[in-house]
Homo-oligomer: A and B are copies of this chain.
Amino acid sequence: MSFDRLIDKIIEMKNPTVVGLDPKLEYVPEFIKRRYLDSDGWTLKAAAKAIFDFNQAIIDEIHDIVPAIKPQAAYYEMYGHYGIRTLEKTIRYAKLNGMFVMTDGKRNDIGATMEAYSNAHLGATAVGENQLEAFGADALTVNGYLGTDGIEPLLKVCRERDKGIFVLVKTSNPSSGELQDMKLADGRTIYECMGDMCERWGEDTRGKYGYSAVGAVVGATYPEMLTELRQRLPHTMFLVPGYGAQGGGAEGLKGGFDEKGLGAIVNSSRAVMCAYKKEGCDERDFAKAARREVIRMRDDICQYINLK
C-alpha cells in the first residue's frame, strides 16, 4: 500500500531505472522470428510467440541489474488475444525472476468499469468462489481526467494487495503542453492541478520512505518541470519516461530525485531492446547487448544522484 516494495528493490540494486518492454516486431532479431514466422506463417499468433521469446531472453539478462520492467500494453494488444497472452506470460516470467512489473496501460474509466480494470491488471477477477489473477502486475499507469471516481477503485486494490499506480501528470511528448500546460484561473497549470490530486489521492497510503501508492508520470523531456514537481509533490513517486531515445539526458533527470536519490524511476525502452542494433553486434547477442545498455544507463544516471 505504498511504493516501498519498489523502492526497496531500487536501493538494493542501487538502480533507479526500469526497462520498457515495448517490443515492436522489427526489434526482434531475425533468428527468433524465423522460429515461428517461417513455420507457422506470418500471423498474429506467430508474431506474439516470437515477442515472448525476445522478452524472456531480455529478462534473463537484466533481472539481476534492473529492479523493474514496464510492458506497454499497446504493443501486445496489436496482436489481439495472442498478444495479450504474451503480455500475461511476460509479466509472470518477470515476477518469477523477482522483478517489479508496472503495466503501462494508461487505463481510465469510472466506478464499476474502473474496478474491472483494477481487478484485471492489479487484483483478481471473481469467477464464482475463485479469485483469479488475469495479469497480476505490481503497478499500472492511469489517466486521471475523470477525477476521483476513476481512482478510488484502484486505491482499494492498492491497499488490499500492496500495489501502486502512476497517474499521467506531465507527459514527455512535444504536444503534452497543449492541455497540460494551460493556466487555470487559480494560477496553477493543469499538470500542477493533476499533481496536487495525486498527493491527495495518495495521502493515506504513504510508506516508510514517505512515498504513497499514487505515483505520477513526469517526462524527462521537461527538466525544469521535473524539478519543480519534485518540490511540489514530496510524497509522489515519479515514473520518468523520455530518457535516451526521446531526448532527455541524464543530468536533466537530477531534479526528479530527492536528496537521498529516491523518488523517481527512469524508463528506457528502445535503447535497451535495440542495443544490439546500435552496437552493431551479432543479433544473437541481443540480450547481452541489452545487459550492457542497462548497466551503462544505470551508471549514467547514478553519477548525478545520491543513491547510497
**Which of B22, B113, B125, B146 makes the CB contact (< 8 A) with A175?**
B146
Q: Is the CB of A173 within 8 A of B84?
A: no
Question: Nearest chain-B residue to A242 (Cβ)?
Answer: B110
A281 CB-CB contact with B under 8 Å: no
Interface string of A26-66 (1 = CB under 8 A from B): 00000000000100001110110000000000000000000
- Say whether B44 contacts A134, CB under 8 Å: yes
Beyond A79-B134, A173-B111, A182-B184, whether A168 also contacts B145 by CB under 8 A is yes
> A110 — which chain B residues lie within 8 A by C-beta?
171-173, 176
**Distance of A117 from chain B, by nearest CB (Å):** 5
Bound-state CA distance A190–B81 (Å) is 36
Inter-chain contact B148/A178, CB cutoff 8 Å: yes
Q: Are A78 and B42 in contact (CB under 8 A)?
A: no
- Copies of the chain in the assembly: 2
Measured between beta carbons, the chain B residues less than 8 angstroms from A295 are none
Q: How far is the CA of A44 from the CA of B185 in the complex (A)?
A: 48
Residue A160 interfacial (CB < 8 Å): no
| A15 CB–B CB distance under 8 Å | no
Name the residue on B nearest A148 (C-beta): B175
Let me know if A107 is at the binding interface, CB within 8 A: yes
Q: A120-B78, A173-B110 are in contact. Are A127 and B42 (CB under 8 A)?
A: yes
Interface segment out of the listed A69-77, A208-216, A260-268: A69-77
